[in-house]
Structure 1
Amino acid sequence: MATTIDKTTLTFLADLTQNNNREWFQENKPRYDAARKNYLGFLDELMEEMALFEPVAIGQKGKDLVFRIYRDVRFSNDKRPYKDHFGAYIAEGGRKSILPGYYLHLAANNNSFLAGGLWMPPADYLKAVRQEIDYNLDELERIIQEPSFKDRFGSIQGEQLKTTPKGYDKDNPAIEYLRFKSWNATMQLPDKVVLSKDFMNTVLEGFKAVKPFNDFLREPLRDIGEE
């Protein structure tokens, strides 16, 4: 039987959102440990299932993918010490990877989501992906118009340039995609879905649907690290 997300895990995250301070966290550390263990167990099984269709999942473990719950507040106006969610990034190299990958965000109050794509890549990656989009616009549009993608993710999201990227004409047929600085696809996951017995399958089907998009974004980056 597939691993599920416990109701107590979401309840802990909901309570943490309301009590984001060190004293409360220390008093509720056993609840945090149990919630994290539940999330990691889910991720471990997710990796085994994902490995059947996504090679980057092979051999990966939840503990290598999950982000720390402690926030770095040194340069932030927001001084809350803890994140109010669990997050994991599945890509070649684990959570610190800058390659396209899959993200699973677990939060209370219907704020969970899964996503795929490429987040704020460095300049050479950005340039390579824009070139790929310019050359292969038809392929990108075919991928994002696929019903399995469109029904779950709608359209591509991400931060965009207000102007035309350097080296491209404003009349370029791909301009709406070339302006992105990140190419993301996001699927919302209401609490009732997260807590359902079928949640594992929901996540797997979502990641399967976003895989062609990730593959498209990864293709022009293959040679960059080898130069």
Structure 2
Amino acid sequence: MEMKLVLDYLRDLAAHNNREWYQGTRKRRMEACQAFEALISELMVVLRKTHGNIPSIEPKKLTFKMVRDIRFSHDKLPYNPVFRAHIGPMGKQPIPVGYFLMISPENQSFLGGGLFSDIFKDATAMVRDAISSQGREWEEIIMAPDFKTHFTVMGKALKRVPLGYDKDHPQGEYLKNKSWYLEYPVPDTQILKGDFIEMATDIFVKMRDFNDFLNRALEGFEMPTC
């Protein structure tokens, strides 16, 4: 029932994406936010049983704002009608990488993992170096039958292998990437099922080797301070 409340609210926000409706439905928004945060809390509890690096942190600190920055956007709708959260070793911080959850109605939800951001050049270089030097391990992870059944490595990429790397490297296609992430689509019907937490945890566990490779590559990375 709680996740139906979440989907219904987001669906209505998408249909009435304006400040008046947003401000006038504060009670509904708070109820939907609380339900989403409760979901995140449950996920964290279960993930800690299989992942030693998931911290105990207030779920609200893992979520992203719905208010959009429209200053430089052609799309002037003020709100993003989705609920999003990142559960990582450093909470919402994108590095070290963790697990991403986006709830969006009309079957637009997904479970994600990996490095979504491509704005940190040092991070991109660190992952490229790891793929270049540990290509066999990378291939074993992304070509594992269970991985291939569920995921495709995504991310923004260059047209060519960048300078400094072997253009004929067996993993050259992935050396072109500036980010490396996974998205597993989740239909509304699955979100409303009683076993959604169990299903989501299973998918996140299947991402673990991929995330672990990236986090080993990113050891020592420091987030910019300004």
Q: Work out whether the TM-score is over 0.5.
A: yes
Find the counterpart in structure 1 of residue 75 from structure 2.
Answer: 78
Counterpart-to-counterpart distance in 2, 1:145 and 1:171? 19
- CA deviations on 1:140-196 (whole Å, 9 max, x unpaired) are 11111223322221x201111012212123212110110111101110000001111
Find the counterpart in structure 2 of residue 91 from structure 1.
Answer: 88
Find the counterpart in structure 2 of residue 125 from structure 1.
Answer: 123
Alpha carbons 1:5, 1:42 under 8 Å: kept: no
Structure 2-normalised TM-score?
0.93
Counterpart-to-counterpart distance in 2, 1:209 and 1:147? 11
Alignment partner of 1:161 out of 152, 158, 161: 158
Structure 1-normalised TM-score?
0.92
Counterpart-to-counterpart distance in 1, 2:94 and 2:153? 21
Counterpart check, 1:27 vs 2:20: no
- CA deviations on 1:44-96 (whole Å, 9 max, x unpaired) are 11111111122332212311100011112222222111111000011132223
Name whichever structure is richer in helix by fraction.
Answer: 1
Alignment partner of 2:58 out of 54, 57, 61: 61
Instruction: Give the share of equivalent positions with the same residue, in percent.
Output: 37
Counterpart check, 1:11 vs 2:8: yes
Counterpart-to-counterpart distance in 1, 2:100 and 2:202? 14
Counterpart-to-counterpart distance in 2, 1:63 and 1:166? 42
- CA deviations on 1:119-160 (whole Å, 9 max, x unpaired) are 21511111111111011111111111223322221x201111
SS in 1 for 2:183: strand
- Give RMSD over aligned pairs: 1.6
Find the counterpart in structure 2 of residue 200 from structure 1.
Answer: 197
The correspondence of residues 186-197 of structure 1 with structure 2, limited to 5 A, is: 186-197=183-194
Counterpart check, 1:178 vs 2:175: yes
Counterpart-to-counterpart distance in 1, 2:126 and 2:6? 40
Find the counterpart in structure 2 of residue 141 from structure 1.
Answer: 139
Find the counterpart in structure 2 of residue 221 from structure 1.
Answer: 218
Residue 26 of structure 2 aligns with an amino acid whose one-letter code is K
| Structure 2 unaligned spans of 5+ | none
Residue 101 of structure 2 aligns with an amino acid whose one-letter code is L
| Structure 1 unaligned spans of 5+ | none
Counterpart-to-counterpart distance in 1, 2:106 and 2:185? 12
Residue 147 of structure 1 aligns with an amino acid whose one-letter code is P
Alpha carbons 1:88, 1:105 under 8 Å: kept: yes
Aligned length: 222
Alpha carbons 2:161, 2:173 under 8 Å: kept: no
Alpha carbons 2:132, 2:165 under 8 Å: kept: no
